[in-house]
Structure 1
Amino acid sequence: KPTLGILDATLYRDDFRTRLKQPEVSVTDITFDITEKDIILIDDVLYTGRTTRAALDALMDLGRPSSIQFCVLVDRGHREMPIKADFIGKNIPTSVNEEVKVKMNEIDDEDAVYLIESPK
């Protein structure tokens, strides 16, 4: 059985210092040593790749894993970083004026993916 953890990469984002409002910081809950472990990083939506890069930096501060594979539920394109998922649930091409919202039953009482128009 794999050991699970939760990673918050907010403080590792490259736009952390340029945001005007106070960031919402969650808890990182990784209570095991990741050194020499094979890690699978899972995210809901892959967009620019900046959050993934931040998550990789956060993981490196916790140890030196043997490998990291990246799994994403939805890849919407528009990459700004050289980031590629190893496992993709669904490719959903979007415009820059659209957002993908993923809902999970354990948190939102529904399993759904929504494509919505971004507020301007």
Structure 2
Amino acid sequence: MVMGLTTGLWVSAQVRICDRAFIPATVVRRGDPDAGTVLLKINRFEAGVTVYTQASSMDDGPAWSRGTGPSPVAEAEADAYIARQVARDPDLWVLEIEDHKGQYQLDGKVV
């Protein structure tokens, strides 16, 4: 997360950003409020679903990797990926964003 922000605060901020842009966002799963990892499930409906997971970057800025691969997948495949990750990490947060128009911008680069 951004330096100095807890995970819970960052997730709340993303929900608020989406709300202000009229983009539906739902916290599907709450993890550790201070230091949990976040999965972002970006649902583009007909265009498919991409699940992003937090990653490390060389410049210490926020970065994301495509957990479900380079191309969008079906929602069932994305949900199966999320279920596997949750089984491994009980502190994991899952934030689902329903982004019909592709307006949501990640707060870091995709690596």
* TM-score computed with the length of structure 1 as normaliser: 0.26
Q: Which has the higher contact order (CA 8 A, sep 6+)?
A: 2
The structure with more radius of gyration: 1
- Looking at secondary structure, tell me which structure has more helix per residue: 2
* TM-score computed with the length of structure 2 as normaliser: 0.28
